[in-house]
């Protein structure tokens, strides 16, 4: 049966229906589809115009599982696919904007017919498609080659396909019973990651978590259970006063974990770093001794492989030596740096990672897997299960007819979990490890290119002079007025305001996006990060041109 491409009606039913361009015609079928009635609704605009300018729509109830709902469902999803394809093409088009910025109150008030408010009456499918399109329109195109704002950027088409398949399967990943293929894929990927890290086949376990912060939380939970297993049942009474150690440049999630787990954020000792943001091993030793002298029991050290701002990698082997000597749990937060393990050129930067008791690794960062995809890897087999299992009888029956060791859900602190494995598995299939390797190398080449560009410019200043280890490049833009000031607090005050001012204008214009922050005694500076394989050197040039142009306009 031929159907109108702009609506969900057979062509013979739309012929002759008259309408103005601003009126949309909704054709609602009742649930039992025995009676049809026509209804006009006033939509100002819609991209789905029938050749006679009639826009026809169905309601949600006309979709599957409605009887004979295949055709309407097919057309609805095809129209959605067209919207998504147009969005993806636009995201990768360098002449299109990265964002169309609006303030929160503007979006709340509604824009050009796009309203966030919810009504009692259902909207029709046509309106839902317009809403999908508008949601993307007023969002940020994180796949754009000139989006440098976050560690997770880009849009991998195979990964996207994986996410679609995952959503279509719409299952939970706590038992083999309802997620047999996904559970086995997790097993395969964990083995792959363990071998890349350098753990033996007999070692290693893991669980997918909703983000790096949760992975880090698991690491503290596991370390505490490893040393004090009574805590699971007896709680805090089973514990001495504990201390954790992490560097001043490490992620805030270590402190947050201490707060969440009742250890207290004040029990986290922040170890000093060198000028590049790497933990100083001697300082770690002295912090351990300080903690002990205060009557605390240090049990956990977090080393970072790829700090959030500088991309610094702590000296893992030196830290492992210290942890061994003091009998401490060594965790490596490689949420950002884990991807470097896939590159023969860069993996030696993480030497010593195999000595870690646990590792956080976010494939949704450097490996470009669609958000979110994060794991906690644990060297000691069985610990995750012991620490977290509660054996809920309605899910984890021991007398099932298959090998129940594949019911992995009780390793988690969650019950229901999103399936994050499939997109990663599918991307690995599509690229092979080699594909990931060249992707990682490409991102670091972009960082190197930016670094040398900045080095040669008088109107920019690098935050630290040596070449970055990861793909983070940190720098100040120096307007002439600031450049002519002598070093000191007055210059710092002026310089502190430069990046926020440029960023504000950059977001209003929307052609590129980069983050900034202060750090320690450093006033606001830009942090450029590369994880998008679509980004090329011309985009790096464009970023610098844009900062210069905006800076000149603001400071002329
Ligand atoms: N630590 C999570 C990600 C931070 C960032 O994208 O800048």
Q: Is 218 exposed, middle or buried (0-12, 13-18, 19+ CB in 10 A)?
A: buried
Contact (Cβ atoms closer than 8 angstroms) between residue 259 and residue 265: yes
Q: Is the CB of 253 under 6 A from ligand 1?
A: no
Whether omega before 372 lies within 30 degrees of 0, making that bond cis, reads yes
pLDDT value of position 31: 35
CA of 407 to the centre of ligand 1 (A): 32
Please give the structure tokens belonging to residue 343: 């590159």
Would you say the C-alpha torsion 425, 427, 432, 435 has a positive or negative sign?
negative
Tell me which of 147, 150, 257 to substitute to probe ligand 1's pocket, judged by most ligand atoms within 8 Å of the beta carbon. Answer: 150
pLDDT value of position 56: 58
Percentage of the chain beyond pLDDT 90 is 89
Q: Is the CB of 149 under 6 A from ligand 1?
A: no
Residues 207-227 have pLDDT tens digits of: 999 999 999 999 999 999 999
CA of 160 to the centre of ligand 1 (A): 21
CA of 212 to the centre of ligand 1 (A): 9
3-class SS of residue 377: strand
Q: Is the CB of 308 under 6 A from ligand 1?
A: yes
Cβ partners under 8 Å of residue 526, min gap 6: 474, 475, 476, 477, 499, 514, 515, 516, 547
Average pLDDT of every residue of the chain: 92
pLDDT value of position 32: 37
Please give the structure tokens belonging to residue 134: 């508008």
Residues 20-76 have pLDDT tens digits of: 222 233 333 333 333 333 333 333 334 444 433 333 569 999 999 999 999 999 999
Q: Which of 422, 446, 255 is nearest to 366 (CA)?
A: 446
Contact (Cβ atoms closer than 8 angstroms) between residue 360 and residue 337: no
CA of 290 to the centre of ligand 1 (A): 31
Q: Is the CB of 251 under 6 A from ligand 1?
A: yes
Which residue's structure tokens are 């719409």? 170
What single DSSP character describes residue 42? E
Residues 79-88 have pLDDT tens digits of: 999 999 999 9
> Could you give the CA distance from residue 278 to residue 288 in angstroms, rounded to a whole number?
17
Residues 281-330 have pLDDT tens digits of: 999 999 999 999 999 999 999 999 999 999 999 999 999 999 999 999 99
Q: Is the pLDDT of residue 351 over 70?
A: yes
Pairing relation of β-strands 329-334 and 522-529? Answer: unpaired
Report residue 91 CA to chain centroid gap: 18
pLDDT value of position 112: 87
DSSP string covering 233-298, please? HHGGGG-PPEEEEEETTS-THHHHHHHHTTS-GGGEEEE-B-TTS-B-HHHHHHHHHHHHHTT-EE
pLDDT value of position 43: 33
Phi-psi region of 22 (alpha: psi -120 to 50; beta: other; left: phi over 0): alpha
Q: Is the CB of 26 under 6 A from ligand 1?
A: no
pLDDT value of position 8: 52
Which atom belonging to ligand 1 lies closest to the Cα atom of 211? 2
CA of 48 to the centre of ligand 1 (A): 38
Q: Tell the residue nearest (CA) to atom 3 of ligand 1.
A: 151
Residues 107-160 have pLDDT tens digits of: 999 998 899 999 999 999 999 999 999 999 999 999 999 999 999 999 999 999
pLDDT value of position 44: 33
Residues 241-294 have pLDDT tens digits of: 999 999 999 999 999 999 999 999 999 999 999 999 999 999 999 999 999 999
Please give the structure tokens belonging to residue 270: 């922040």
Residues 418-433 have pLDDT tens digits of: 999 999 999 999 999 9
Pairing relation of β-strands 329-334 and 358-361? Answer: parallel
Q: Tell the residue nearest (CA) to atom 7 of ligand 1.
A: 150
Percentage of the chain beyond pLDDT 70 is 90
pLDDT value of position 285: 98
pLDDT value of position 331: 99
pLDDT value of position 22: 28
Residues 481-516 have pLDDT tens digits of: 999 999 999 999 999 999 999 999 999 999 999 999
> Could you give the CA distance from residue 248 to residue 277 in angstroms, rounded to a whole number?
8
Q: Is the CB of 151 under 6 A from ligand 1?
A: yes
CA of 335 to the centre of ligand 1 (A): 9
Which atom belonging to ligand 1 lies closest to the Cα atom of 151? 6
């Amino acid at each position: 049966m031929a159907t109108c491409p702009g609506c969900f009606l057979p062509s013979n039913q739309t012929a002759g229906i008259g309408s103005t361009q601003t009126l949309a015609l909704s054709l609602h079928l009742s649930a039992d589809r025995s009676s049809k009635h026509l209804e006009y609704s006033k939509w100002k605009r819609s991209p789905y115009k029938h050749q006679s300018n009639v826009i026809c729509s169905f309601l949600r109830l006309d979709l599957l599982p409605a009887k004979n709902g295949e055709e309407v469902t097919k057309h609805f999803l095809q129209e959605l696919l067209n919207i998504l394809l147009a969005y993806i093409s636009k995201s990768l088009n360098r002449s299109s904007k990265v964002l169309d910025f609006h303030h929160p109150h503007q979006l709340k008030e509604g824009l050009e017919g796009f309203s966030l408010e919810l009504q009692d009456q259902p909207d029709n499918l046509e309106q839902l498609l317009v809403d999908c399109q508008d949601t993307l329109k007023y969002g940020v195109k994180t796949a754009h080659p000139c989006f440098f704002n976050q560690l997770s950027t880009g849009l991998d088409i195979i990964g996207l396909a994986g996410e679609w398949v995952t959503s279509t399967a719409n299952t939970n990943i706590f038992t083999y019973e309802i997620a047999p293929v996904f559970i086995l894929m997790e097993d395969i990927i964990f083995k792959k990651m363990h071998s890349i890290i350098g753990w033996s086949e007999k070692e290693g376990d893991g669980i997918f978590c909703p983000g790096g912060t949760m992975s880090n939380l698991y690491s503290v939970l596991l370390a505490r259970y490893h040393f004090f297993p009574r805590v699971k049942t007896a709680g805090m009474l089973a514990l001495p006063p504990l201390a954790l150690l992490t560097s001043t440049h490490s992620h805030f999630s270590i402190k947050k974990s201490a707060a969440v787990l009742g250890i207290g954020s004040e029990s986290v000792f922040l170890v000093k770093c060198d000028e590049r943001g790497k933990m100083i091993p001697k300082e770690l030793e002295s912090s351990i001794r300080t903690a002990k002298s205060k009557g605390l029991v240090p049990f956990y050290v977090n080393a970072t492989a790829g700090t959030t701002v500088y991309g610094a990698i702590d000296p893992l082997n030196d830290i492992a030596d210290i942890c061994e000597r003091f009998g401490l749990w060594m965790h490596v937060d490689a949420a950002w740096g884990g991807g470097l393990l896939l590159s023969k050129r860069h993996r030696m930067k993480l030497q010593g990672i195999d000595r870690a008791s646990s590792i956080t690794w976010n494939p949704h960062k450097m490996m470009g897997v669609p958000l979110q995809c994060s794991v906690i890897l644990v060297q000691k087999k069985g610990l995750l299960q012991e620490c977290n299992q509660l054996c809920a009888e309605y899910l984890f029956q021991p007398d099932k007819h298959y090998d129940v060791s594949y019911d992995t859900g009780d390793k988690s602190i969650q019950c229901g979990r999103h399936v994050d494995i499939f997109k990663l598995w599918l991307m690995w299939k599509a690229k092979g490890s080699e594909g990931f390797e060249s992707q990682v190398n490409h991102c670091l080449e972009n960082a190197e290119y930016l670094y040398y560009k900045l080095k040669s410019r008088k109107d920019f200043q690098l935050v630290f002079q040596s070449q970055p280890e990861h793909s983070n490049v940190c720098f100040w833009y120096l307007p002439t007025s600031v450049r002519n000031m002598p070093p000191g607090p007055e210059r710092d005050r002026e310089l502190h305001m430069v990046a926020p001012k440029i960023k504000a204008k950059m977001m209003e214009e929307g052609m590129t996006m980069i983050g900034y922050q202060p750090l320690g005694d450093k006033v606001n500076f830009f942090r450029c990060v590369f994880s998008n394989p679509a980004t090329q050197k011309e985009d790096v040039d464009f970023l610098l041109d844009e900062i210069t142009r905006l800076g000149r306009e603001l400071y002329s």
